[in-house]
Amino acid sequence: RLDNDHQILAYAAGKMKKNRIRTIEGDRVVVEMSPYDLDRGRINFRHKAEGSAPPPGARRQQNFRRR
């Protein structure tokens, strides 16, 4: 839902898809829209929320086993 209460369908594009950047409802994002279809768009950037970043030195969860 945009700031003007217009609801669109958008998908992650570019490096957001490549790096698997997750978005949840309520995230502030930058959406690229075509002038031909104002009901669809591409999410290009997700703004970081205040306090959402992990503390420095925090370990990331790993999805693989080290040998």
Give per-residue pLDDT as tens, 15-45: 888 888 888 888 888 888 888 988 899 988 8
Domains of the chain: 9-46 (2.40.50.140)
Flag whether pLDDT at 5 surpasses 70.
Answer: yes
Mean pLDDT of 40-53: 79
Give the torsion through C-alpha atoms of 42, 21, 17, 64, to 10 deg. Answer: -170
Around Cβ 1, how many Cβ atoms within 10 Å?
9
C-alpha distances (whole Å) from 8 to each of 13, 26, 65 are 15, 14, 40
Whole-number pLDDT of residue 14: 82
CB-CB contact of 21 with 43 (8 Å): no
Q: At 31, which helix (H) or strand (E)?
A: strand 29-33
Whole-number pLDDT of residue 7: 87
Flag whether pLDDT at 52 surpasses 80.
Answer: no
Whole-number pLDDT of residue 26: 82
- Tokens standing for residue 40: 């669809």
